[in-house]
Structure 1
Amino acid sequence: MVSIENEDTLASTRGRETALACVRAGIDAARPGHVVTESVRLDGDRLHVADATYDLTGVDRIVAVGGGKAADGVADALETVLGDRLSAGAVVTPEPSEGKRIERLQGDHPVPSQAGVDGTERIHDLVADADERTLVIAIITGGGSALLPAPADGISLDDLQTTTDALLDAGAEIGALNAVRKHLSTLKGGGLADLASPATVVSLAFSDVVGNDLSVIASGPTAPDESTYAEALEVLERYGVDPPAAVRERLEAGAAGDLPETPGPDDPVFDRVTNHVLADGFTAIEAAREVAADRGYDTCVLSSSVRGEAREAALTHVAVAEEVGATGNPISGPAVVLSGGEATVTVRGDGEGGPNAEFALAAAIELPEDATLACVDTDGRDGSSDFAGAVVDSDTVEDAKAARAALDSSDAYGYLDGHSIISTGATGTNVNDLRVLVVE
């Protein structure tokens, strides 16, 4: 079970204690050990994944490869399920453990590193000689875009780092960011499926994107890609990013038709590829809802797809808290209103912040009495901070002017203190943000 540091101090009211219990349940429900055990099993020569069954009688080798923040836990669970049927494997993850049959390799997030490049080359080596009697299990989890860089010809690691940094600082949403990264990498945008062909590919995905778009999760290594070089150029224009010359030259060459596009939906490389989303934001929301209901609260899921600027989305949640108290809509109190998705932050200063901290602080300035809000990133890392998020109520902000100044300098964590900051460490999963609004 995930541990929340300093929980006794944070849980100073009934609303706070409930919000934190919901957060713990939501994160735990999305952890790979639980999810894979529930979704994947081996029965003789039959591999069952969710509702699908794969006949292994014609399979000589099973290779598991992939990456992301949840990849280490997925690899652990697969080693347990498959045992000696698993031939080899490698995953790239931020905090690798020791594997038995699947190598665990170091990578970095959110900005790609040379370690990630080296790990991706190992995956390339394992998959490049796959044939029709090979089953490739692709472990695709949130964070895989940065952890599996694989720069394309003419693109350096520094080019990838600079472009990624600039888009993140500009507040680019994940789909836009990945449209660029797919066209600067060899494995993204269906590249892993292309490399593995003609093997059978079974993808196990943990979604950290709104809508579970398979082409966006980890930049879609095993999914068809409908984005184009021209769209990647448009993303740079939209967010005002001037990339390194090599990046612009590659994207412009692709847009002019001088480079092949990433494989699309009709490409035959996907004829033997199946993608399964085993966990997503709603996995966490549903578990949190069960905890709230068990505690006697009416529950409501506002949306699992909340996105946009964190401080603006926060005010919508404040408005819902006010409405519950004033009119009993959409439900009457005591109530727990849940949401997921992925808010973004446009960096305005050099403080310490993140989307969930900014969401929480912006809401805290306006929250009515008897309302509590917990906001966390389920991976335990809010933006580039070392914290998961925050829990706040109407007593959190004593100086609204100072709180707004902290928001304007992207320093939400600089304003919040030990009575608000939620720290879990890396949780081993990643299914986007989870927000729990308690109205007593």
Structure 2
Amino acid sequence: MNPREDIKAIYSKAIEAVDPYKAVRSSLIREGNVLRLIDGTVFNLSDIKNIYVVGAGKATAPMAKAVEDILGDSISQGVIAVKYGYRENLSRIALREAAHPVPDENGLKASQEIIDVLGRAGEGDLVISCISGGGSALLPYPVEPITLAQKQDLTQKLLKSGASIKELNVVRKHISRTKGGNLALASYPATVINLMMSDVVGDDMDIIASGPFVPDESTYMDALSILQRHNLVKEVAPSIIHHLEKGVNGEIPETPKDKHIFEKVHNCIVASNIIACMAAYTKACELGYNSIILSSMIEGDTAQCASFHSAIAFEVIKTGNPVKIPACIISGGETTVVVKGNGLGGRNMEFAMQIAPLIEGLPIAAASVGTDGTDGPTDAAGAVADGTTVTKAQQLGLNIDEYINNNDSYHFFEALGDLIKTGPTNTNVMDVRIIIVV
């Protein structure tokens, strides 16, 4: 057994299992003039006047490609927003590239185009939405008078504060024209098929890309409370606070909550993290490891997550529980990092750096990988560490504590040659962690 090579084989299989194109093709099936969702819902294409396709996210391009291959010339018009580099060759649907995780002007323009397309949809029309992780940042259309620059600043500060993706999206919903059900409102009274790749713990549909087609259960008070909890009320633009306070006082309407708006919206999650974890489990078993999936819903502080996973590996060595050596421990989800330094990194590389000193000298290898191929604002998907990482770092004159304190996981693992680089995967179902004990 070669733990490092096996880790690569395992995470590659996990990513392959959540291919967006295949997920859509298996969830949306055409049989002549009948379009059928995996849940059995049937749409008669002969009764539909126009078909519009919209969407946003890091996995949205191959999702849209699948829709094109299913419906072809039946598509009247479409536009999607994707992260730079996450492209696909499309013929009927316009593809717009924009920035993630901090939104940019191209994302704003794409959002405006999507609103314009949905404005054409009416009774008897069908809207097909392709939503995936990253869609929230790629649909930045702030309400007036909030500017894109102010929203960019808000996003950066929430990310650095350690706010969860759920918290981030609650705030973004309440300063946006596209999120929190607002695209459902823009589509009304057309019928909507909302296809989603889940990148959120628990697959909460109103959190995926901030739920542009899903009823929003959160409130202005929730959004304001999140900023208060992370001590950001005095740090973000006053226009944001003023807008949220107006919402709390009932001076402006809440996100759409009228049930009639959502009666013709059909939501369908086509792929999620547990599918990736199950594929990783199957591959690990094929490689001869006694394997276990801890959970696909792990969240919280990255350092604490690393400590928790190392403790399970220690238990495997000590008592053979919950699985015996050779063991493969698999988990999924999305943790958060409270950024205190000025280094470069992401939560997956941070996990590997935090676990490295805990497993030093032991027959353990650990990796954390973002299924989208991107960890933070870097070209790496994650990193791998083992029982020799700290020693190798010392031999290169690197002090791991200094890198941890500076949140500089990228440069630490770059120097060791232990970054995991997959390139853009065009999918996104959060992260997969793999711990091997031999």
- Normalising by structure 1, what TM-score? 0.94
Partner of 1:246: 239
CA contact (8 A) 1:46 1:53 kept: no
- Aligned with 2:67 (options 73, 78, 85): 78
Distance (Å, rounded) in 1 between the aligned partners of 2:143 and 2:240: 10
Distance (Å, rounded) in 2 between the aligned partners of 1:427 and 1:64: 22
Partner of 1:7: none
Distance (Å, rounded) in 1 between the aligned partners of 2:40 and 2:151: 37
Partner of 2:127: 136
- 1:39 has 2:27 as partner: yes
Distance (Å, rounded) in 2 between the aligned partners of 1:82 and 1:324: 51
Partner of 2:412: 415
- Aligned with 1:389 (options 382, 401, 404): 382
- 1:271 has 2:249 as partner: no
Distance (Å, rounded) in 1 between the aligned partners of 2:180 and 2:106: 21
Instruction: Tell me the CA shift for residue 418 of structure 1.
Output: 4.6
Aligned ranges for residues 88-167 of structure 1 at < 5 Å? 88-94=77-83, 95=85, 96-167=87-158
Amino acid at match of 2:80: V
CA contact (8 A) 2:357 2:390 kept: yes
- 1:283 has 2:275 as partner: yes
- 1:22 has 2:20 as partner: no
- 1:173 has 2:164 as partner: yes
Amino acid at match of 1:311: A
1:397 aligned counterpart, secondary structure: helix
- 1:376 has 2:357 as partner: no
1:61-118 CA-partner distances (Å, limit 9, x unpaired)? 1111010000111111111122222222110001334420111012110111110010
Distance (Å, rounded) in 2 between the aligned partners of 1:292 and 1:330: 15
Amino acid at match of 2:110: G
1:88 aligned counterpart, secondary structure: strand
Instruction: Tell me the CA shift for residue 166 of structure 1.
Output: 0.8
- 1:329 has 2:317 as partner: no
Distance (Å, rounded) in 1 between the aligned partners of 2:58 and 2:309: 28
CA contact (8 A) 2:60 2:130 kept: yes
Amino acid at match of 1:307: E
CA contact (8 A) 1:20 1:374 kept: no
1:226-275 CA-partner distances (Å, limit 9, x unpaired)? 111111111111111121011111101011000100123x5210111111
Amino acid at match of 2:271: A
1:341-375 CA-partner distances (Å, limit 9, x unpaired)? 00111111111111111101111111162211111
Partner of 2:423: 425
1:308 aligned counterpart, secondary structure: strand
Distance (Å, rounded) in 1 between the aligned partners of 2:90 and 2:22: 18
- Aligned with 2:36 (options 40, 48, 66): 48
Instruction: Tell me the CA shift for residue 337 of structure 1.
Output: 1.0
Instruction: Tell me the CA shift for residue 129 of structure 1.
Output: 2.2
1:145 aligned counterpart, secondary structure: coil
CA contact (8 A) 2:198 2:429 kept: yes
Partner of 2:47: 58
CA contact (8 A) 2:310 2:355 kept: yes
1:52 aligned counterpart, secondary structure: coil
Instruction: Report sequence identity in percent.
Output: 41
Distance (Å, rounded) in 2 between the aligned partners of 1:344 and 1:274: 31
5+ residue gaps, structure 2? none
Partner of 1:353: 345
Change in 2 beyond 3 A, CA 1:67/1:389: same
Amino acid at match of 1:149: P
Question: How large is the RMSD of aligned CA atoms in angstroms?
Answer: 1.4
Distance (Å, rounded) in 1 between the aligned partners of 2:228 and 2:123: 43
Instruction: Tell me the CA shift for residue 51 of structure 1.
Output: 2.1
Distance (Å, rounded) in 2 between the aligned partners of 1:87 and 1:129: 11
Amino acid at match of 1:370: P
Partner of 1:439: 437
- Large movers: runs of 4+ above 3 Å: none
CA contact (8 A) 1:361 1:412 kept: yes
1:14-53 CA-partner distances (Å, limit 9, x unpaired)? 1111111011011111121221222222111221222233
2:389 aligned counterpart, secondary structure: coil
Distance (Å, rounded) in 2 between the aligned partners of 1:48 and 1:55: 6
Distance (Å, rounded) in 2 between the aligned partners of 1:412 and 1:29: 28
Distance (Å, rounded) in 2 between the aligned partners of 1:369 and 1:45: 60
Distance (Å, rounded) in 1 between the aligned partners of 2:2 and 2:289: 12
CA contact (8 A) 2:65 2:89 kept: no
Amino acid at match of 1:77: A
1:90 aligned counterpart, secondary structure: strand
1:136-170 CA-partner distances (Å, limit 9, x unpaired)? 11111000111011111221111111111111111
Distance (Å, rounded) in 2 between the aligned partners of 1:273 and 1:126: 17
- Normalising by structure 2, what TM-score? 0.95
Partner of 2:401: 404
Distance (Å, rounded) in 1 between the aligned partners of 2:403 and 2:169: 30
5+ residue gaps, structure 1? 1-12
Distance (Å, rounded) in 1 between the aligned partners of 2:355 and 2:345: 15
